[in-house]
């Protein structure tokens, strides 16, 4: 056990780990994380397999990176624990008798005689120290009297508080990683969805996008109602930067869109034999409607794509979710006979690429299209978050303690000699020595020459 | 006066301060540094007014794009110069720090930086914008002081100068590190949690601010626990500021991520 503790209590190990974690983290910003295997193959060629097996493509979640963090946590814990006892004794422990010669050799010091009896000399020294905020303790009686004056004693523990905060943050990260749950809920207006692993549901009442007068999105607003046991519990507007919190879950506005798969389409039916003929028909994607026309008995919209492009393998796909190139796959029948099947484009009405469209007795114009908008809410349960905030509080408080609350201590030895008292004082402060020296000199000036 | 006039005025005064500082340094007229500081301080007042006017007219914090954040960072470096420049007995600090300020303002003024105040995208509509960016950039301004002190240390010839520069770099880190931790990491995590639903997403900007934090943690530990001082400390401080600069600029232009505002 001892060698293990010794290994982990080394600051050199901490420095080695900080350097390793830093280098690994840099590597993770140079290799894009969490992309598809195809993307890595295209980007790195034969190296892609190596990168994947070394877990460089999910580096921050990899076993070896997490091991580094775990070693770092152990290192912090052992280092801090190994040093905190001595600090505690220094800050709060009883003082030991001091050697006046040693004090007189210190950098910040004062030595003089007071023509007073010992008890009066002690009071004379104690007064200005107390009024400067020092707490006094007296060493067990020995040949001389030793006083230890200390202030800002919590300042000794600044770095320990930071380290404790870091451990809490790492524990919070672990808790989030193991117990965190996230799910995207895509909701159409009026739709209700179960929240995974929760006993309640959420309903999207309304979704709207607000724009600035000069253009640009001002806000995405989802009006959301929490439904529990069939009854609405509360209604809130969820926006970016304004999540809804309920029973340990938070709901974030993460995305939005139009439900083009169920687009409502308005078509004009045209006949080759009768140029003046035009008939409007409205239908939903996936529907087949009867037209009651001698030449066209039924029409169906098989598919709607808002931004049609031809992808790999001549596959029709949508380049984006914006209606840049809307197209509908339309089919029409005359009784049992299919008389039309093809894509109809809103922006290119003459682009007849349907199956036999040129010969078809009917054609179509895509006159209108509309889709219900949906909002994507992320439902997140992050049990580590509160630990993170606690850790952040410790880290911040600890840093301010460490840098702006430097402890100070003054040792005074009183020696009786020929009816007088020889006073030897010295002081120590790990930080802010100039300010401390000024205070020290002021205190002992007033001990020597009281006002 | 309009915001852009005030900004230009500040630029001119900073450039004037730079010239006076360096003239004093090379002509060995220590008193000229007072003139440099005076010009810098007047420029700082004009710059402050420009930032206030911009906030008033745009209705949001003046650091939502590269121009604005550069302007604010240079303002913060002048503030650090006014705080640190007078107390420290290092005559080279102010001239070289002013060089950084003028470089930042010149970069902000370049035609490559769009200067318009665009309305805020939803993700930036939060009071955390104020807290996160201002405290982070303030911390980085003190890292700039440590950086200049580190470089001057490497160039210094006498032990006395070296000791002063070493102490100066440490004092600047002692101010900058808590600010950077609070603004960059803590406030950043709180805001990310509110806006994106996760306090840490290993986004390149997040990782690089952690790297910057690690470099300064290294500075403090090698120094306080292992007794490193002088040259090696100066190099760590220089690397730390370069990491901060990369977090600020490099990540935006070289690495893609969530944090694509400025």
Confidence bin at B260 (pLDDT 50/70/90): low
Percent helix, percent strand, percent coil in chain B, to nearest 5: 75, 0, 25
Sequence-ordered strand ranges (E) for B6-69? none
A196/B21 Cα distance (integer angstroms): 65
A209/A219 Cα distance (integer angstroms): 6
Q: What's the whole-model pTM score?
A: 0.88
* A18, A29, A240 member nearest B122 (Cβ): A240
Which backbone phi and psi does B258 adopt, to 5 degrees?
-65, -30
The verdict on a CB contact (< 8 Å) between A28 and B199 is: no
Query: Environment class of residue A391 by beta-carbon count within 10 Å: exposed (0-12), middle (13-18) or buried (19+)?
Result: buried
A219/A240 Cα distance (integer angstroms): 8
A96 touches chain B (CB under 8 A): no
* B204, B211, B222 member nearest A22 (Cβ): B211
Region B159-165 average pLDDT: 93
* B122, B211, B251 member nearest A25 (Cβ): B211
A124/A326 Cα distance (integer angstroms): 93
pLDDT of B113: 83
Q: Which domains are present in chain A?
A: 2-82 (no CATH), 94-152+406-448 (3.30.310), 164-260+375-396 (no CATH), 263-369 (no CATH)
pLDDT of A354: 52
> Which residues have a Cβ under 8 Å from the Cβ of B77 and sit 6 or more positions away?
B97, B100, B101, B104, B141, B144, B145
The verdict on a CB contact (< 8 Å) between A15 and B218 is: yes
DSSP letters along A207-237, please?
EEEEE-TTSSEEEEEEEEEEEETTEEEEEEE
Helix (H, G, I), strand (E, B) or coil at A295: coil
Q: Give the chain B residue whose CA is nearest to the CA of A396.
A: B182
Rounded to a whole number of angstroms, the distance from the CA of A242 to the nearest CA of chain B is 7
Confidence bin at B72 (pLDDT 50/70/90): very high
Rounded to a whole number of angstroms, the distance from the CA of B17 to the nearest CA of chain A is 31
ipTM over 0.95: no
How many residues make up chain B in this entry? 262
Helix (H, G, I), strand (E, B) or coil at A351: coil
Region B220-247 average pLDDT: 92
B233/B231 Cα distance (integer angstroms): 5
pLDDT of A353: 52
Rounded to a whole number of angstroms, the distance from the CA of A218 to the nearest CA of chain B is 6
B80/B137 Cα distance (integer angstroms): 11
The verdict on a CB contact (< 8 Å) between A240 and B182 is: no
The verdict on a CB contact (< 8 Å) between A12 and B226 is: yes
Sequence-ordered strand ranges (E) for A84-164? 108-114, 135-138, 145-151
Helix (H, G, I), strand (E, B) or coil at A299: strand
pLDDT of A352: 60
pLDDT of A139: 92
First and final C-alpha spacing in chain A: 60
Region B199-224 average pLDDT: 94
* A29, A219, A254 member nearest B207 (Cβ): A29
pLDDT of B228: 85
pLDDT of A360: 81
Distances (CA, A) of A39 to A49, A423, B260: 12, 78, 22
Rounded to a whole number of angstroms, the distance from the CA of B234 to the nearest CA of chain A is 17
pLDDT of A361: 86
A189/A222 Cα distance (integer angstroms): 9
* A26, A240, A392 member nearest B186 (Cβ): A392
pLDDT of B261: 57
A241 touches chain B (CB under 8 A): yes
pLDDT cut 70: percent of chain B above it: 97
In tens digits, chain A (451 residues) has pLDDT values of 788 888 898 889 999 999 999 999 999 999 989 888 888 999 898 899 899 999 999 999 999 999 999 999 999 999 999 999 999 999 999 999 999 999 999 999 999 999 999 999 999 999 999 999 999 999 988 889 999 999 999 999 999 999 999 999 999 999 999 999 999 999 999 999 999 999 999 999 999 989 998 888 899 999 999 999 999 999 999 999 999 999 999 999 998 888 898 899 999 998 888 888 999 999 999 999 998 888 899 999 999 999 998 887 888 888 888 889 999 999 999 988 998 998 999 988 877 655 555 678 888 999 999 988 899 999 999 999 999 999 999 999 999 999 999 999 999 999 998 889 999 999 999 888 889 999 999 999 999 987 7
pLDDT of B99: 96
Q: Give the chain B residue whose CA is nearest to the CA of A380.
A: B197
B250/A432 Cα distance (integer angstroms): 36
The verdict on a CB contact (< 8 Å) between B189 and A400 is: no
């Amino acid at each position: 056990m001892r060698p293990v503790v010794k290994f982990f209590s080394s600051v050199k190990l901490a420095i080695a780990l900080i350097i390793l974690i830093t280098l690994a983290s840099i590597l993770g910003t140079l290799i894009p994380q969490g992309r598809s295997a195809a993307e890595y193959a295209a980007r790195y060629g034969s190296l892609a397999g190596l990168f994947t097996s070394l877990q460089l493509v999910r580096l921050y979640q990899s076993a070896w990176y997490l091991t580094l963090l775990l070693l770092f946590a152990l290192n912090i814990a052992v280092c801090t624990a190994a040093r905190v006892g001595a600090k505690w004794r220094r800050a709060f422990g009883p003082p030991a008798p001091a050697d006046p010669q040693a004090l007189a050799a210190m950098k910040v010091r004062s030595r003089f005689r007071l023509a007073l009896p010992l008890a009066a000399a002690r009071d004379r020294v104690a007064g200005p120290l107390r009024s400067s905020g020092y707490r006094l303790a007296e060493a067990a009686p020995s040949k001389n009297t030793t006083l230890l004056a200390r202030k800002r004693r919590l300042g000794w523990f600044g770095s320990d508080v930071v380290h404790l905060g870091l451990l809490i943050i790492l524990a919070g990260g672990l808790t989030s990683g193991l117990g965190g749950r996230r799910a995207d809920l895509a909701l159409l207006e009026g739709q209700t969805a179960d929240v995974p692993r929760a006993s309640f549901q959420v309903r999207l009442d309304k979704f709207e996008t607000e724009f600035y007068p000069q253009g640009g999105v001002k806000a995405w607003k989802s009006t959301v109602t929490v439904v529990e046991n069939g009854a609405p519990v509360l209604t809130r507007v969820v926006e970016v930067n304004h999540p809804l919190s309920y029973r340990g879950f938070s709901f974030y506005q993460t995305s939005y869109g139009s439900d083009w798969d169920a687009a409502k389409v308005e078509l004009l039916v045209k006949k080759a034999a009768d140029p003046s003929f035009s008939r409007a028909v409205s239908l939903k994607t996936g529907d087949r409607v009867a037209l009651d026309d001698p030449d066209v008995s039924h029409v169906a919209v098989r598919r709607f794509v808002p931004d049609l492009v031809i992808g790999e393998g001549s596959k029709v796909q949508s380049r984006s979710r914006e209606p840049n190139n809307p197209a509908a796959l339309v089919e029409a029948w005359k009784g049992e006979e299919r008389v039309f099947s093809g894509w109809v484009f809103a922006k290119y009405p003459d682009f007849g690429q349907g199956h036999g469209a040129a010969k078809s007795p009917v054609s179509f114009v895509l006159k209108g299209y509309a889709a219900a908008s949906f909002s994507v809410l992320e439902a997140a349960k992050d049990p580590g978050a509160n630990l993170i905030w606690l850790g952040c509080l410790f880290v911040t408080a600890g840093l301010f303690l460490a840098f702006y609350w430097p402890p100070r201590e003054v040792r005074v030895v009183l020696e009786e000699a020929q009816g007088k008292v020889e006073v030897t004082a010295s002081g120590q402060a790990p930080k802010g020595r100039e300010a401390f020296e000024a205070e020290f000199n002021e205190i002992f000036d007033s001990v020597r020459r009281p006002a | 006066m309009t915001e852009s006039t005030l900004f230009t005025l500040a630029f001119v005064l900073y450039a004037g301060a730079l010239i006076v500082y360096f003239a004093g340094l090379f002509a060995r007229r220590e008193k000229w540094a007072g003139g440099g500081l005076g010009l810098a301080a007047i420029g700082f007042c004009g710059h402050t007014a420009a930032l206030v006017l911009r906030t008033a007219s745009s209705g949001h914090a003046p650091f939502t794009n590269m121009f604005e954040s550069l302007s604010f960072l240079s303002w913060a470096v002048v503030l650090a110069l006014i705080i640190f420049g007078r107390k420290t007995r290092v005559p080279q600090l102010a001239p070289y720090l002013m060089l950084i300020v003028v470089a930042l303002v010149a970069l902000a003024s370049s035609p490559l930086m769009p200067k318009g105040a665009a309305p805020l995208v939803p993700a930036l509509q939060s009071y955390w914008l104020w807290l996160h960016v201002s405290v982070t950039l303030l911390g980085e301004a003190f890292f700039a002081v440590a950086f200049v002190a580190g470089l001057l240390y490497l160039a210094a010839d006498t032990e006395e100068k070296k000791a002063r520069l070493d102490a100066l770099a440490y004092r600047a880190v002692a101010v900058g590190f808590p600010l950077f931790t609070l603004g960059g990491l803590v406030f950043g995590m709180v805001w990310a949690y509110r806006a994106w639903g996760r306090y840490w997403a290993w986004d390149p900007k997040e990782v690089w601010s952690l790297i910057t934090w690690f470099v300064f943690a290294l500075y403090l530990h090698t120094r306080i626990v292992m007794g490193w001082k002088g040259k090696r400390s100066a190099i760590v401080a220089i690397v730390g500021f370069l990491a901060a600069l990369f977090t600020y600029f490099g990540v935006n232009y070289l690495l893609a991520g969530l944090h694509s505002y400025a």
